[in-house]
Chains A and B, each alone.
Chain A
Amino acid sequence: MSVEEEKEILEALINEIENAADDEIRKIIEEAEKQRERILRSAEEKALQERRRREEEVRRKARISILKELSFKRISFRRDLLVNKYKVIMGLIEEARKWVLEEAEKCGSLYRLGLENLVEEAILNIKSSDIVVVCNKRDKEVVEEVSKKISGKIKDKYNRNINVVVKSSLPENEYGVIVHSADSKEYYINTISSRFEYYVREYLPELLSKKV
């Protein structure tokens, strides 16, 4: 082998070694670059997740704190409206009460007409034949008249004989009647005040059914 050939072989071998090294170096750098990309991408993703988690946490805590603050405001606002609603209703009730009392005090035509119905309703709710009708002193005469009329009506309509005694032991400012059996076992309270309270109590929910 000539020196020239030997030199060529040697160069070829050296070239091969250098080429192999170049390949290796390229792979090392490429791999490092890929890894670098992965690390940075992963950091971006983790940062995004962490930011969302932190935002959610801040949002959750803020909601709790602000809702607490607002719940007092809500309760206060609702209470104020309820107070106003109560005032509206009470105004209405007081106006009705005044109207009823005026009518009862002056013994107006409505009161006199109603008194007959109240006595009849009360008597019809007592099973006993001996009945006591209690009214105030002012109404005694009217109630006696009415009671007679009703006794006759009941006899005609239900073929029932009843014996009615009228007593004027209700206070002067109490109107309507209380009817009870002579043995006091049955009672029917039909005074104006009890009817008013009952009706207002029953009617109020209907008024309140309009939400506030």
Chain B
Amino acid sequence: MVDIDFTKLLMAEREADKRIEEAHRKADEMLRQAREEAKRIFEEKSKVDEKGIIDEVRRELFKEYESFQTELSSQFADFKKHVEENRENIIREIVSYTLGVHK
């Protein structure tokens, strides 16, 4: 028959329970800190540079507008050139038709 000193065993178990409880507390603290860290990360990394974005959009749209201006100015220049190059013929055609001498 083994005669074991249960007092020592109980003390060892109590000590183990205390260490486990301590580990739980440590884990809880780790999680609490992690949540705080997460909150800080979220706030920090979800920030946007509004002015930078607006400036970028403005640059893009003004570039498009400049292309529009260039395109229209070029079309107008072509039109003007077309009219100048054909001015004599256009007028002659209008005059001929009006006077009834067109072919």
Contacts and interface: CB of A to CB of B under 8 A. Distances in A.
Contacts of A199: 94, 97-98
Contacts of B50: 58
A96 B58 contact: no
Contacts of A85: 76, 79
A51 B9 contact: no
Contact of B48 (A35, A55, A110): A55
Interface in B1-46: 1-5, 8-9, 12-13, 15-17, 19-20, 23-24, 26-28, 30-31, 33-35, 37-39, 41-46
Given A17-B13, A77-B72, A207-B90, A113 B27 contact: no
A62 B54 contact: yes
A115 B83 CA distance: 29
A9, A17, A42, A211 — most chain B CB neighbours (10 Å): A17
Q: Is the interface of B mostly helix, strand, loop or mixed?
A: helix
Interface stretch (A63-71, A151-159, A161-169, A181-189): A63-71
Contacts of A160: none
B30 A51 contact: no
Contacts of B16: 17-18, 20-21
Interface of A: 1, 5-6, 9-10, 13-14, 17-18, 20-21, 24-25, 28-29, 31-33, 35-36, 39-40, 42-44, 46-48, 50-51, 54-55, 58-59, 62-63, 66-67, 70, 73-74, 77-78, 81, 84-85, 88-89, 92-93, 95-96, 99-100, 103-104, 110-111, 113-118, 121, 176, 190, 192, 195-196, 199-200, 203, 207, 210-212
Given A17-B13, A36-B34, A190-B100, 13 more contacts: A1-B1, A28-B23, A35-B31, A36-B31, A36-B33, A43-B39, A62-B54, A66-B57, A73-B65, A115-B100, A121-B100, A203-B90, A212-B75
